[in-house]
Amino acid sequence: MNHSHQKVPKEIGLDHSLELLKEGYYFIMNRSEKFDSRVVQTRLLGEKTYCLIGQEAAELFYDTDKFFRKEAAPVVAQKTLLGMGGVQGLDGDEHRHRKAMFMSLMTKESLKEIQSIVKEEWTRYLEAHEKEVKVFEAAKLVLARTALRWTGVPSHEHDADDWASKLSPLFEMASKVGPKHLKSRWSRVQLESRLEKLVKQVRNRSLDVERHRAFYHVVWHRDENGELLDPHIVAVEILNLLRPIVAIAVYLDFIFLAINDYPKEAELAKQGYDERHRFIQEVRRYYPFFPFAIARVKKDFMWKGYTFKKNTMTLLDLYGTNHDPELWDEPHQFMPKRFEKWEGNPFDFIPQGGGEFDIGHRCAGEWLTVDIMQVTLDYFLNHVNYELPKQKPDYRMNDIPPIPGMKIYIKH
């Protein structure tokens, strides 16, 4: 289809970073609605930025001929959430090779194992704790223990609390300003330093680790040129396994909010795997998790009449695409049934990013996320005697990520 040349709708003003902090997950949606456009230009962190929303925009965004990821994210994100030199910021052969390493860890056997570990760790946690459980806090510890066991990172039993308390600021506080942001940076520095020491010990044979575990594979992984990764990069990539597993605590908190707010749907989810799967997918679509993905324009190009200029920072609205009325019937209603007919399009349902799994930039841990949510939902719905006390969960859409703070009472 031919599109005549047109200017990208442009938001006036020197910078809109403060509005992003105030509006949170609605930032791109608000501008898309205001300008009635799937592409809007604004200014963030002092630079020109394109904002995209919707399925077609997602297909464009993940076209590696048009966008690149290498150092695309602002330094504040690299210093907290992502780390410097990790797989999310790579392109081309380097990205394909590193991504293949991650995908090789997601075998059916290893995903089955992590489900067993999660169940064991929930059982262990509930046996050791009194009646009231704060879901998010409990989940962080359960998932930190799970992540350490599954990856094979050398750690002592009593270290799990410390790991949980240092891993959670990487995603809880990365978008904050002031002391919380500094805590997020400091946590990353400490964890990378700790992991680098372990990498060096394994490589000089002074520390023995299980050879079938992810930690061993990443330590001895060779890049596309046959070279071992720098110990710092290994530390970053190990954190790219540990951090997202612990971050699933946000989704687990939302699962209990959904059970609380939609009891009929939760009752249906008791019936079987497919019903639970649809419930989980709707939790991931309906509630906020990642606000947007970040890339930069590789070279000048034209799309739908709009000119995209080289090196411009570009955000794809993940939350907004998951609530796009052009893609979803009644997008602001919680309806797991909608996933009976979903065809698995890699660009319309993008809670953790879009694109293809193996070669694209779609989150390698998405299967793992769904499995952990599935086993947790099944465990609590069908194997744990608990009740939800009356509560008014309060989460704000300008908190990234928002934490509903659900509580449950365990009946021993």
For residue 44, the cross-strand partners are 47
Calpha distance 348→55 (Å, rounded):
5
Contact 253, 391 (CB under 8 A): no
Tell me the HSE value of 404 on the side-chain side, using a 13 A CA sphere.
Answer: 23
Place of tokens 């700790």: 194
SS3 readout for the chain? CCCCCECCCECCCCCCHHHHHHHHHHHHHHHHHHHCCCEEEEEECCEEEEEECCHHHHHHHCCCCCEECCCCCCHHHHHHHHCCCCHHHCCHHHHHHHHHHHHHCCCHHHHHHHHHHHHHHHHHHHHHCCCEEEHHHHHHHHHHHHHHHHHCCCCCHHHHHHHHHHHHHHHHCCCCCCHHHHHHHHHHHHHHHHHHHHHHHHHCCCCCCCCCCHHHHHHCCECCCCCECCHHHHHHHHHHHHHHHHHHHHHHHHHHHHHHHCHHHHHHHCCCHHHHHHHHHHHHHHCCCCCEEEEEECCCEEECCEEECCCCEEEEEHHHHHCCCCCCCCCCCCCHHHHHCCCCCCCCCCECECCCCCCCCCCCCHHHHHHHHHHHHHHHHHHCCEECCCCCCCCCCCCCCCCCCCEEEECC
Burial of 393 (0-12, 13-18, 19+ CB in 10 A): middle
Is 51 flagged in the annotation as binding?
A: no
**Binding site as annotated, residues:** 363
**Binding site as annotated, residues for heme:** 363
